[in-house]
Amino acid sequence: MAGDYVHYQRENSRVFADIAILTGTAAYANVLAPKSANHQIFVQKITLSITTHVADTYTVDDDGSGPVIATHLDVTPQAAGVPSVVVWDFGPKGWPVTTGANVDVSHSSTGVAIMHIEGYQKLVGPVAQATTN
């Protein structure tokens, strides 16, 4: 893809999260939170490493009005070709999350996984135009 992921992270403000998704915890709120209501997060890449396969749905979304960012329906390991690592790559510019919204992660069952989310946030809107930030 054209562009450089690190360029956008350096020009703005890098954000990332590593989440241990465990049995017994269905929701992980605010894994990425913007600095203010005038900041917008851009998700560049999500990596899901599944360690325990069960019929589980992993979802990444924002707590604003935006659509689901990523979702994966995992299946039991008996099925051929079940991936243990799933990657969503949204390119250097990233997937824009609703301005001022947090990124949340949830799963529907007892699967166990590690998720890494990376991107950047920047000041947007009228406030950004009035400042040099």
CATH number of the CATH domain containing 107 = 2.60.120.340
Strands (E), the chain: 13-21, 27-32, 39-52, 56-62, 70-74, 85-89, 95-96, 103-107, 112-123
pLDDT in tens, the chain (133 residues): 446 889 999 999 999 999 999 988 999 999 999 999 999 999 999 999 998 888 889 999 999 888 999 999 988 666 656 778 999 999 999 999 999 999 999 999 888 999 999 999 999 977 665 555 5
Q: Which alpha helices (DSSP H) does 46-108 contain, by range?
A: none
pTM reported for the whole predicted model: 0.87
Q: How many domains does the chain have?
A: 1
133 assigned to some structural domain: no
In the prediction, which pLDDT does 1 show?
43
Longest Cα separation, the chain:
57
Q: Is residue 31 part of a domain?
A: yes
